Structure 1
Amino acid sequence: MDPDSDVKPAGGGSSYNKAGMGVKECQNMIRRSLRTPMVKFLKQQMGKSGCNIGDNFIKAVNCQQSVAGGYISGEGIVICSNRLTMQDEVTQVVIHELIHAYDECRSANLDWTNCAHHACSEIRAGHLSGDCHYKREFLRGFMKLRGHEQECVKRRVMKSLVSNPNCPEAAAKDAMEAVWDTCYNDTQPFDRAP
């Protein structure tokens, strides 16, 4: 993949829109994120599912789109260095995208062009990665004491799904609602939502 090309991730992309850092600095942050307990656990679980992650599976690139990163089926994870500024952001995107990679690894027929499949993985990634923790929501300008996590997951799933050319807004909403309960309650590879 050309580092200056548009990122068109299979599993959608985590959305951010800001001037970020250089590729080399981001690559160093990716290395640090690989030492965090949650990333180590996800990598270990992928290995147990038969999908070992090589050294080049997660790489920093400059992205044209306003996304923080994405999972590209058959290639790996890209982290958009020019859209991120802090270690916590890089680690969060790595975790989110590793959940997409895990979903594809454990499923023999995951089809990213299928709105329901895409919605399910986005629901799981949003719920299990901590993307919608109240602290992150507060920093984004969303604050609600009750029900914020599910609202956040739904908002972020829809944002990702409508970027999929196969999922116009009405189809995206229908797909998300159809798979919500099953996918939100699927916490694999965790015993429960972290």
Structure 2
Amino acid sequence: MAPQPSEPPVPTAAPPSDPTSTSANSTTPSSSSPSSKAAGFPDIVKNDPKRTGFDPKKAWWVNYFKLLTGEITPEGRFHYLEDAYRRHEARDCAKCEQWRDWAFEHSPMVRFMREKVGELNGTLDERNVVCRRCPARLTEDGAVHRQSGGFSPDHGILICANGLRDRYHLEDTLSHEMVHAWDHLRWKVDWVGDKNLKHAACTEIRASMLSGECRWSREAVTRGNWKLTQQFQDCVRKRAVQSVMARPRCKDDVQAARVVNQVWDSCFSDTRPFDEVYR
């Protein structure tokens, strides 16, 4: 990796409120703010019941019936799901915390990474690995921007409780962010890209490669993407590019792909702290 060794501590106090590193399904900055507008981000689409058919003032079952009968548009379906996530936030967070505690206790990957973070004088536990609802954004270009989790050097790891399918999905997400935490302790990563985006690209390549989120069963069965050759490499590259694109200093997908390609050979071959790709 490009950065030189350094070992800043990971704080163990406050939960993450503004993660600077997100997983592959990253949320782009809101364009409703002046700075986002100046940066050229598309406007955030607000719900209009007359246009979408979804009315949050009506009972949930009324909207559900309208959804089943096709009276709610695809845009309305997005707003319907976001409303459901708000209503079920407490339930989703409680389940997420249960799965997190299971991973701390039983997941070989999570236990190993927790041990390696500890060897670098860092601590990851229930105090700084937190579950929260992560709002998604629908932009006027039709893109839905979601995130599965994030890592902040100042706060810890965020797990998006409303985006989890099962405890194994949490295991992959948590493992991804733990690789970021290890990288931060081992090298002082330029997360935002103030100097250049190579640091961010490298840690995203490593996190997607080592966490297990690009293994064949996850990519082919869950996401429906499969091919006979280069599937693993293509998945890692694609998710790294998507994550780099979410960085404030990244101009577009062309720059993100170029930076990922520049560090690909060295970072894809770097499996530390593992001897080889575990999953």
- After TM superposition, the score normalised by the length of structure 1 is 0.90
SS in 2 for 1:22: helix
2:115 & 2:95 partners in 1: Cα distance?
25
- Name the amino acid aligned to 1:136: R
**Corresponding position: 1:59 with 2:130:** yes
Please report how far the alpha carbon of residue 2 of structure 1 lies from its aligned counterpart in structure 2 after TM superposition. 8.9
8 A Cα contact 2:172 2:213, kept in partner: yes
Please report how far the alpha carbon of residue 8 of structure 1 lies from its aligned counterpart in structure 2 after TM superposition. 4.7
How many residues are paired up?
Answer: 190
**Corresponding position: 1:145 with 2:145:** no
Per-residue CA deviation, residues 126-169 of structure 1 (Å, 9 max, x unaligned), is 11111111111112010112110000011111111111121122
Please report how far the alpha carbon of residue 34 of structure 1 lies from its aligned counterpart in structure 2 after TM superposition. 0.9
**Corresponding position: 1:10 with 2:23:** no
**Corresponding position: 1:90 with 2:173:** no
Counterpart residue number, 2:154: 74
Unmatched tracts of structure 1, length 5 or more: none
The range that moved more, 167-176 or 23-32, is 167-176
Q: Which has the larger radius of gyration?
A: 2
8 A Cα contact 1:110 1:117, kept in partner: yes
1:22 paired residue among 82, 85, 92: 92
8 A Cα contact 1:11 1:121, kept in partner: no
Please report how far the alpha carbon of residue 53 of structure 1 lies from its aligned counterpart in structure 2 after TM superposition. 2.4
- Name the amino acid aligned to 1:25: K
Please report how far the alpha carbon of residue 74 of structure 1 lies from its aligned counterpart in structure 2 after TM superposition. 1.3
Counterpart residue number, 1:120: 202
SS in 1 for 2:148: strand
Report 1 or 2 for greater relative contact order, CA contacts < 8 Å, sequence distance ≥ 6: 2
The 5 Å alignment of 1:171-182 reads 171-182=255-266
Counterpart residue number, 2:49: none
Identity across the alignment (%): 31
